[in-house]
């Protein structure tokens, strides 16, 4: 896990619009955070696709990137409808996601594949956990985005085949997977610490620290299952 200090905070609010108070405000900020995450994920895939060894792999990564833009468009519409400028939202939160990708830059194609599969899965896990606590309208938005989060399956087959062919790949990729989870949790915690409204929305009705801990325990459990799928448990 990164030992670097957290970012100085999310950027000043440059939304240029007004947001209703209470729950609506918290949902708007949550969608703004997710929007910035989709933006960062798209450009991360474009950058890391340069390591792809063949046309088939480049096409698979391109499909993942297209999926991220689809998520972005859904969330951008929701953010705008709630009085926040999507561009301003990306600017406000992008530093946390940029830092995550900077400290998890893969050095090999197989590290890139593990990151793609784990990252796609973590996104699905986060969305699934969010959907359980959101009001109906917001839950439907999250489920619409989550329904498209399954485009990294090609990575599973490539990694499993590579590890079976060369067992020496396994240990470093296991450590890499642990690092990806640790950094994702750390950066998510920074966002929650910066946006108390979002934290209150997600963990209302339970002791705050207990609710957060339970949330991330579930994420970790799902990550372990996913590493098993990769042959890296």
Q: Which residue has the tokens 């729950």?
A: 23
- pLDDT, tens digit, 9 for 90 and up, residues 102-125: 999 999 999 999 998 988 888 888
pLDDT for the residue 16: 46
Q: Which residues of the chain have a pLDDT value below 50?
A: 3-5, 8, 12, 14-20, 207
Other beta carbons within 10 Å of 1: 12
pLDDT for the residue 216: 84
Q: Which one is the CATH code of 23-229: 1.20.1260.10, 3.40.50.720, 3.40.50.2000, 1.10.8.60?
A: 1.20.1260.10
Tokens of 37: 């995450």
Q: Domain locations in the chain?
A: 23-229
Q: Which of 103, 125, 223, 102 is nearest to 174 (CA)?
A: 223
Threshold 0.85, pTM exceeds: no
What size, in residues, is the chain? 233
pLDDT for the residue 199: 80
């Amino acid at each position: 896990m990164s030992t670097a200090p957290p970012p100085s905070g999310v950027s000043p609010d440059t939304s240029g619009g007004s947001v209703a108070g209470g729950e609506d405000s918290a949902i708007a900020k949550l969608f703004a955070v997710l929007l910035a995450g989709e933006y960062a994920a798209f450009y991360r895939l474009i950058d890391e696709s340069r390591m792809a060894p063949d046309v088939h792999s480049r096409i698979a990564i391109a499909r993942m990137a297209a999926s991220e833009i689809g998520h972005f468009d859904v969330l951008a519409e929701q953010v705008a409808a709630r009085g926040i400028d999507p561009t301003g939202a990306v600017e406000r939160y992008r530093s946390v996601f940029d830092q995550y990708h900077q400290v998890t830059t893969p050095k090999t194609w197989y590290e890139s594949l593990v990151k793609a599969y784990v990252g796609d899965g973590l996104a699905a896990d986060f969305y699934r956990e969010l959907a359980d606590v959101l009001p109906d309208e917001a839950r439907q938005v999250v489920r619409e985005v989550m329904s498209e989060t399954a485009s990294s399956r090609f990575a599973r087959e490539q990694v499993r085949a590579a590890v079976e062919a060369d067992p020496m790949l396994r240990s470093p990729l296991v450590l890499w997977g642990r690092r990806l989870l640790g950094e994702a949790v750390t950066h998510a915690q920074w966002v929650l610490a910066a946006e108390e409204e979002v934290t209150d929305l997600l963990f209302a009705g339970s002791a705050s620290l207990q609710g957060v801990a339970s949330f991330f325990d579930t994420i970790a459990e799902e990550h372990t299952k996913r590493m098993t799928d990769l042959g890296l448990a």
